[in-house]
Amino acid sequence: MENEYYPWGGEFTVCKPNGCIAVVLLQIDYIPPANVAIFGPLKTENIGVEKIVANVISNPHIRYLLVCGDDIRGHRSGSSLVALHRYGIDKQHKIIDAPGAIPYIENLKTEALERFQAQIEIIDLIGVKDKKTIDNAIKEYNMRSPPSYGESYIAIRIKPDVPTKLDDKRALHSKIVVHYMGKIEKREG
Amino acid sequence: MFSFTKKQEVFDISGIKIGGQPGEYPTVLLGGVFFKGEPNFKREKENIQNMLGLSKKTGNPAIPDFFIRKKEYVEEIVDFIEQVLPKKHPFSIDIIEPSVKIETLEYLDKKHLLKRTIYNSIHIGITKEELEALKRYKPEMAILVAFNPKDKSPDGKIEVLENGAHLIDKGLLATAEEIGIKKILIDTASLAPGENSGASIAAIPVIKEEYGFPTGCAIHNVVEKSKWLNNYFESARKTVDASSNMDIVLFGGDYAIYGPLENADLVFPMIAWQDILISEYTENYFGVKPAENHPRRKFF
């Protein structure tokens, strides 16, 4: 069951496949109870946030995203994740009002972000490290037993188009030519 | 082992030269000070002295890269830099939070240390306040991190340098020009495993041939983020971490930001060894003479 979810990989632990809570850990040494769907750390305010969004929307049973612990100085990845859910992104794909250093979402389509906003409710416990408080929040939200959001949403990772051909003789990269014995030259055209 | 057609810039900071053709100048090694946790001044003083000793033995210049995470550490760490480093020795400051960056620049100016400072770093997250502070308190040298969240390939890295990849108003090269920093190092932005981490190595010769600027990266970051290594090969982790820096040298890079100072004992001889191999070939085939302080000279 769990293999059909979480297509973007990452540093996380899968627990109960139909659990309704995903837990994001920010600099906190804490293992949530086994009845959550998934938990793991968040480090970066761009790629890390993207992975969390893509993975939680792949499992429609997840309806709550609990963010706890101390936000990482400079990166402010937890607060950037909360800002993404609240405000979305601007035309330059920057998370609106995110406090992180480089809070850009570049590999997810708008549809995936809208799904994240619709499917998920954020439980903002940033700054909270007390395990009992977090346990109690998990218990409380678990008791709400929200319905599944429906179908799984598998987010496609946006990748730049890099055309290659079988007769491609480029060594290393299209911008340079590596000549016999190692002389490098910029490729013309 | 490569030689570039494009003229390769060599920049000097307080007597340390960075850049040039492969085999010309020794690879410059930047080691992280206060890399994790709260600053431990006593331990890091010993580590810095150890790194400087290794630099003397191998010929590879050592530049300590100081992490400053909180405002309350700014004065303490800058004062420590002044006390612990030899007079005129260059250093870099590695700060994420823009407000801490600004406060550090102000204090470095007050202490007349900006001539020895490498600013680590300018990237697409630069704020208006940071830009203005950099114009007022101009560091001697800056690292431009070519991180492009939408395209992690060498092309994406070039796009960020050229035009900011439309994530910001202008490219990082133009930003450095606006500030008035002429001595720039390009960092090819090493990302976590699974995020085209190899592109930061492949981008080195591409960017050096494109611009001729000294280029390198913190390939150590890839190892640092590897769950696979941590979970299954814990005993090999430090060796893999240190040896990953060799990729930078073999692909023509000029400097490596190699991670915590504790890795210096492994990193310095490994990199000196690659410098020697490269120099033997590039002198024989391309006629590149190694500089006076090159590790190969230690064997003559």
Tens-binned pLDDT, residue by residue, of chain A (189 aa): 445 799 988 889 999 999 999 999 999 999 999 999 999 999 999 999 999 999 999 999 999 999 999 999 889 999 999 999 999 999 989 999 999 999 999 999 999 999 999 999 999 999 999 999 999 999 999 999 999 999 999 998 876 666 666 566 667 788 888 887 888 988 876
- Taking CB atoms and an 8 Å cutoff, what residues of chain B touch A162? 153
Is B149–A182 a contact, with Cβ atoms under 8 angstroms apart? no
Residue A184: inside a domain, yes or no? no
- Taking CB atoms and an 8 Å cutoff, what residues of chain A touch B157? none
Which of A72, A93, A176 is most worth mutating to test chain B (most B CB atoms within 10 A of its CB)?
A: A176
Q: How far apart are CA B180 and CA A73, in angstroms?
A: 29
Is B2–A182 a contact, with Cβ atoms under 8 angstroms apart? yes
Min distance A43 CA to chain B CA atoms (Å): 10
Q: How much is the ipTM here?
A: 0.80
Average pLDDT over residues B54-66: 98
Size of interface A-B (CB pairs under 8 A): 98
- Taking CB atoms and an 8 Å cutoff, what residues of chain B touch A53? none
> Would you state the pLDDT for residue A2?
46
Q: Structural domain tally of chain B? A: 1
Average pLDDT over residues B42-51: 97
Average pLDDT over residues B87-109: 96
Residue A158: inside a domain, yes or no? no
* C-alpha distance from residue A177 to each of A146, B62, B102, B204 (Å): 58, 33, 42, 14
Tokens standing for B148?
């492009």
Residue B202: inside a domain, yes or no? yes
Is B5–A184 a contact, with Cβ atoms under 8 angstroms apart? yes
Average pLDDT over residues B233-260: 96
Nearest-CB residue to A101 (from B125, B195, B210):
B125
Give the angle subtended at the CA of A179 by the CAs of A175 and A180, to the nearest 5°.
160
Tokens standing for B109?
């100016």
* C-alpha distance from residue B35 to each of A75, A125, B95, B141 (Å): 15, 27, 11, 21
Question: What is the domain-level CATH number for residue B34?
Answer: 3.20.20.20
Q: How far apart are CA B298 and CA B59, in angstroms?
A: 8
What is the domain extent for residue B187?
10-299
Selection from B106, B170, B113 nearest residue B132 by Cα: B106
Residue B2: inside a domain, yes or no? no
Average pLDDT over residues B62-67: 98
What H or E segment, with its residue span, contains residue B184? strand B183-187
Beta strand segments in A11-131, E: 13-14, 21-26, 38-41, 64-69, 121-126
Residue A152: inside a domain, yes or no? no
Residue B114: inside a domain, yes or no? yes
Residue A183: inside a domain, yes or no? no
Nearest-CB residue to A107 (from B150, B153, B227):
B150
Contact (CB, 8 A) for B82 and B111: yes
Which stretches of B59-150 are DSSP H helices?
Answer: 74-84, 98-110, 128-136
Min distance A148 CA to chain B CA atoms (Å): 30
Nearest-CB residue to A102 (from B1, B123, B153):
B123
> Would you state the pLDDT for residue B98?
92
Q: How far apart are CA B188 and CA B199, in angstroms?
A: 8
Q: How far apart are CA B294 and CA B276, in angstroms?
A: 8
Nearest-CB residue to A46 (from B149, B156, B203):
B149
Which chain A residue lies closest to B1 (C-alpha atoms)? A182
Residue B272: inside a domain, yes or no? yes
Residue A167: inside a domain, yes or no? no
Over the stretch B179-207, which tens digit does the pLDDT of each residue have?
Answer: 999 999 999 999 988 888 999 999 999 99
Least confidently predicted of A139-143, A170-174, B118-122, B244-248: A170-174
Over the stretch B194-240, which tens digit does the pLDDT of each residue have?
Answer: 888 999 999 999 999 999 999 999 999 999 888 888 889 999 999 99
Is B150–A93 a contact, with Cβ atoms under 8 angstroms apart? yes
Residue B153 forms contact with A (CB below 8 Å) = yes
Q: Structural domain tally of chain A? A: 1
Nearest-CB residue to A11 (from B4, B153, B227):
B227
Residue A24: inside a domain, yes or no? yes
Which of B36, B123, B167 is most worth mutating to test chain A (most A CB atoms within 10 A of its CB)?
A: B167
> Would you state the pLDDT for residue A1?
45
Beta-strand relationship, A183-186 and A176-178: antiparallel
Average pLDDT over residues B120-139: 97
Nearest-CB residue to A183 (from B5, B147, B158):
B5
What is the domain extent for residue A46?
2-143
Helix, strand or coil for residue A39?
strand
Residue B202 forms contact with A (CB below 8 Å) = yes
Strands of the A183-186 sheet, one edge to the other: A176-178, A183-186, B3-4
What H or E segment, with its residue span, contains residue B67? strand B62-67
- Taking CB atoms and an 8 Å cutoff, what residues of chain B touch A43? 225
* C-alpha distance from residue B26 to each of A56, B38, B83, B258, B294 (Å): 47, 32, 27, 15, 5
Count CB neighbours of B96 within 10 A: 20
Residue A115: inside a domain, yes or no? yes
- pTM (2 d.p.): 0.90
Interface of A with B (CB under 8 A): 9, 11, 43, 46-47, 73-75, 92-94, 100-107, 158, 160, 162, 172-173, 175-176, 178, 181-186
Over the stretch B273-289, which tens digit does the pLDDT of each residue have?
Answer: 999 999 999 999 999 99
Highest-scoring range by mean pLDDT, A169-173, B18-22, B69-73: B18-22
